[in-house]
Amino acid sequence: MAPFGPPSYLADMIALRAAAIAALLLVSSCTQPASEPAQPQPDPTVNRLQIQTPDEIDVEEPPPPPPPEDQPTTGADQIAANNPTDAKAMTDQPADQPKTLETATFAGGCFWCIEAVLDRLEGVVDVESGYMGGNIDNPTYKQICTGTTNHAEVVQCKFDPSLVSFEQLVGYFFVMHDPTTLNRQGNDFGTQYRSAIFYHSDAQRQTAEAIIKKIQPKFDDRIVTEVTQASKFWPAEGYHQDYWEKNPSDRYCNAFIPSKLKKLGLER
């Protein structure tokens, strides 16, 4: 038997350490919230993107289709045609009636960061982190992090279109993340971190596509944001909801979220 010497021992140790480092790098972007990512980098969108404010995006949303000829456009119009007194009663209803809300769903890296921005926008009344666009039902965060389910980390919000338009939300979306990095935002990489707009109507699809066409010249690289019809939304685990509000000292969040809020003028 050949004697056990230092050269063989050192070679084995170096090989083992290299393998361990490679494994750690592979899973670093999918750690549970209790774990802190290694050496977070500054938000890459702050100085890189040429769009500095959502106001630079001014694409008008498509108008609604016209109503059929000789047909009242709303229930109130129908009542007015038959009974003007009842129509007046409808218009005199209290102003604090429940408002019609719309839904928007965005993916652009870690959902903690997207949620923190959308939650501060006037007109956004509810935000929820979750998963969309995958091939299994009721996925877990652990499954998402494998990158094999094809889900994206998304934030779905309910908003009042009389206070904030879908176009404005898309404007904030393109300023808060880098839409030119495929399946990656900063330290987070994998298909679950892809850039995507999941539309809930044809009007939302047209608006998203028009905005991408308008802003593409402002970027050196091609915008890779998907514009995909919304599918089943799966809410994320409870500890992901309002994550930054509940964990204001989290190192990962503080490496990215404050710079986004400052850039967008949403600091409190």
253 is a catalytic site residue: no
Q: Identify whether the C-beta of residue 196 lies closer than 8 Å to the C-beta of residue 154.
A: yes
- Of 222, 173, 165, 214, give the one whose Cα is nearest residue 196: 173
List Cα–Cα distances, 8 to 16, 20, 186, in angstroms: 12, 19, 39
Q: Which helix (H) or strand (E) holds 184?
A: strand 184-185
| Placement of tokens 């106001």 in the chain | 55
Q: Cα separation of 101 and 160, whole Å?
A: 5
From the list 30, 110, 113, 157, the catalytic residue is 110
Side chain identity, residue 264: L
> What are the φ and ψ backbone dihedral angles of 153, each rounded to 5 degrees?
-75, 120
Side chain identity, residue 216: Q
Q: Count CA atoms closer than 13 A to 132's CA, side-chain side.
A: 27
| Placement of tokens 């001014």 in the chain | 58
Residue 138, SS3? Answer: coil
Catalytic residues, which ones?
110
